[in-house]
């Protein structure tokens, strides 16, 4: 049981799942994650978005620690780690991405802290383990 994201749907966005590929609008220069659909800033059609591979580094701009009521696909994770750090990261290239903290106590981190992306197991569905980017603390 979980949010149903089929394997084909997951595979459509592997560049963004693994490498956080964002889009840069050819009309106005605004960035967007994931790189699909119309530009949020100027409404140029999605075809105007140029894919850009970011460094994977950025800053936490919103922060929460989930201690209960998690989506069922993450029950195993929360049973193992007690809590999930769910954050919004503003990448150094501009776009904001939602992400999960890893390799740290999520209570110890918050807005303004620097993080970097690393590929981890996200969850398993349809018998297929889904991997994607999580974020760990970065010491500059």
Binding site for other proteins (CB under 8 A): 1-3, 5, 9, 13, 32-34, 40, 61-72, 74-75, 77, 84, 86-88, 96-100, 107, 110-112, 122-123, 132
Secondary structure of 63-75 as H, E, C letters = EEEECCCCCHHHH
Closer of 88 and 138 to other proteins (Cβ): 88
Minimum CB distance to other proteins, residue 120 (Å) = 12
Minimum CB distance to other proteins, residue 53 (Å) = 17
Minimum CB distance to other proteins, residue 26 (Å) = 18
Q: Which residue in the block uniquely carries the two structure tokens 């620690």? A: 65
Minimum CB distance to other proteins, residue 72 (Å) = 5
Contact (CB, 8 A) for 10 and 130: yes
Closer of 48 and 88 to other proteins (Cβ): 88
Beta-bridge mates of residue 101? 135
Distances (CA, A) of 111 to 18, 68, 97, 140: 24, 21, 14, 16
């Amino acid at each position: 049981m979980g949010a149903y994201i089929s394997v084909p749907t997951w595979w459509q966005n592997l560049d963004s799942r693994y490498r956080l590929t964002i889009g840069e609008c050819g009309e106005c220069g605004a960035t967007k994650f994931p790189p699909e659909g119309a530009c949020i800033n100027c409404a140029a059609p999605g075809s105007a978005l140029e894919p850009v591979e970011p460094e994977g580094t950025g800053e936490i701009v919103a922060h929460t620690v989930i201690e209960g009521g998690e989506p069922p696909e993450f029950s195993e994770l929360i049973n193992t780690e007690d809590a999930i750090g769910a954050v919004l990261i503003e990448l150094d290239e501009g776009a904001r991405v939602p992400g999960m903290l890893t390799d740290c106590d999520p209570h110890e981190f918050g807005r303004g802290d620097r993080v970097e992306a690393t590929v981890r197991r996200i969850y398993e569905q349809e018998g297929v383990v889904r991997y994607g980017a999580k974020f760990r603390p970065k010491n500059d």
